[in-house]
Amino acid sequence: MSALHQLRIADWLKTTPTGQTITVSGWVRTKRGNKDIAFVALSDGSTINTLQIVAELVNFDEEIIKKIQTGCSLRVTGALVASQGAGQTVDLQAQKIEILGEADAEKFPLQKKKHTLEFLREIAHLRPRTNTFGAILRIRHALAFAIHKYFNDHHFYYIHAPIITGSDAEGAGEMFRVSTIDPQNPPKTGNGEIDYSQDFFGKSANLTVSGQLESELAAMALSRVYTFGPTFRAENSNTARHLAEFWMIEPEMAFFELTDNMDLAEDFLQYLIKYAMEHCADDLVFLEKRLIEEESQLKKEDRNPMPLLEKLKFVSETAFERITYTEAVAILEKSGRKFEFPVKWGIDLQSEHERYLVEKHFKKPVILTNYPKDIKAFYMKLDEDGKTVRAMDVLFPGIGEIIGGSQREEDYEKLSKRIDEMGIHRESLWWYLETRQYGTVPHSGFGLGFERLVLFVTGMGNIRDVIPFPRTPKNLEF
């Protein structure tokens, strides 16, 4: 049978065993046994659970049995039978064992003992073979799939925004330069600066920090669109919530005002959480147990107030609190808390403020709206008071900001004025401005950081552990 149609361990574990002959392939997690029999736990990544292979030693060459070690890969044919032992429902009574790739268990970096997440980051090429990362990668996949499904079901079109950009006006963060100029011998202009007109694109180019401006262009024709692609920020913030390369989901909708935008964000997030609970139950149960074990070392006040699954259920069923920035500042001022960054109207809220609102005050997700215009991007729609803009940030427990979005300024004159006020080079945005000259409409959108979502759903603490190969300052192995 073509490998394409072969059933996986996840499928066999759900099958009623009748002694049928099956073949499975995978990697050995553990081997134990005695002089007569060997029990091998085999994983093929299709589930957190392993298939128990039972090999009666008399039936096999001694050499083969010796080579079965943690980390090696096997193809096994045998009879699927009801298990005699506790802990699994079926066993595979091995008739034929083929060693595909040997591994010396003594040297294999993944030992049976528990490894720290920090150590596993150093062996990112092998960490998918651990239970924890297997679970995370399956959940990450399920969420990515659910994102496309949600948008498809709601009549959004998937737009591929470019990754290389010539505009540096988005202002979302520091950018990475893209260039083919010879660093030893760069062409110079008359005043000694590097002459990017001689570079590959004939101008200076960067990796994108957001696909928003391009998706706005598409929304002005297709009404509802979204991007889901890599974004890059060269900010030197070594936090547990920031990556230099991360994935962002950016829906953009014509005819949506701020409230519609909030309704979408809330419905979307709740759908994604429910989808994961429904489709990744085994993995979530595993991660919940792992977390409880890990947190048992901590003081009570440092632990999560709810076990993972309870938290997911709660957030997926509870209406998000919606308040304005101005109301939030009043709450923070009245809180009597001594924050590291003192609060006053006009400041950009720090993670400590966001988390106070979500975790201590409201004890549920919060959507903060109508921020001061000076701390937000140029394209956000100005409120009637002229001081605030129609921004919305969605704040999650344990995470802080998970979504940042806004209603966009659709008025040509007002947008033009903001661009000038903020000292942005308007010539580089002529195409963006033109959409406000030809058939402009009210529209809105937001950016959801994919890894922050995966962080929330898996209950992991560090964003480096929810992306296969993290890119962070001074870290580019693998």
In the complex, the residues that contact ligand ATP under the rule CB under 6 A are 172-173, 233, 241-243, 246, 248, 401-404, 447, 449, 451-452
Pick what 246 binds: Mn ion, ligand ATP, none; C-beta below 5 to 8 Å, kind-dependent: ligand ATP
E strands in 373-472: 388-396, 400-407, 443-449
User: Is residue 229 part of the contact set for Mn ion (CB under 5 A)?
Assistant: no
**Which two tokens mark 102?**
């040997």
Are 65 and 98 contacting, i.e. CB atoms less than 8 angstroms apart? no
Which residue shows structure tokens 């392939």? 25
Both tokens of 380, joined, read: 């956000």
Amino acid at position 4, single letter: L
Q: Is 404 in the site for Mn ion (CB under 5 A)?
A: yes
Question: Of the listed pieces 186-194, 236-244, 399-407, 459-467, which binds Mn ion according to CB under 5 A?
Answer: 399-407
Dihedral over Cα of 352, 357, 359, 365: its sign:
negative
Q: List the single partner that 449 binds among Mn ion, ligand ATP, none, CB under 5 to 8 Å by kind.
A: ligand ATP
Of the candidates 357, 273, 263, 354, the residue with the CA atom closest to the CA atom of residue 310: 273
CA distance 344 to 350: 12
Asked if residue 146 lies in contact with residue 275, where contact means CB atoms within 8 angstroms, the answer is yes
449 binds Mn ion (CB under 5 A): no
Min dist CB 133 to Mn ion, Å, is 28
Contact by Cβ (8 Å): 411, 379: no
Residue 265 or 287: the one with the smaller Cβ distance to Mn ion is 265
- In angstroms, give the least distance from the CB of 355 to Mn ion: 15
Cα–Cα distance for residue pair 31/42, rounded to 1 Å: 9
131-153 and 281-295 are packed helices; what angle lies between their axes, rounded to 10 degrees? 130
Q: What is the contact mask toward Mn ion in residues 353 to 392, using x (rule: CB under 5 A)?
A: ----------------------------------------
> Could you tell which of Mn ion, ligand ATP, none binds residue 137, using a CB distance below 5 to 8 A set by kind?
none
CB atoms within 10 A of CB 163: 14
Q: Which does 451 bind (CB under 5 to 8 A by kind): Mn ion, ligand ATP, none?
A: ligand ATP
- Per CB under 5 A, which region of 189-197, 347-355, 404-412, 461-469 contacts Mn ion? 404-412
Determine contact, residues 41/29, Cβ cutoff 8 Å. Answer: yes
For ligand ATP, the closer of residues 50 and 210 by Cβ is 210
Q: Which is nearer to ligand ATP, 138 or 233 (CB)?
A: 233
Minimum separation from the CB atom of position 50 to ligand ATP (A): 33
The two tokens of residue 1 are 């049978």
242 contact, one of ligand ATP, Mn ion, none, CB 5-8 Å limit per kind? ligand ATP
**Cβ distance to ligand ATP smaller for residue 68 or 460:** 460
| Shortest Å distance, C-beta 300 to ligand ATP | 28
Closest approach of Cβ 173 to ligand ATP, in Å? 6
CA distance 99 to 141: 29
- Chain residues binding Mn ion by CB under 5 A are 404
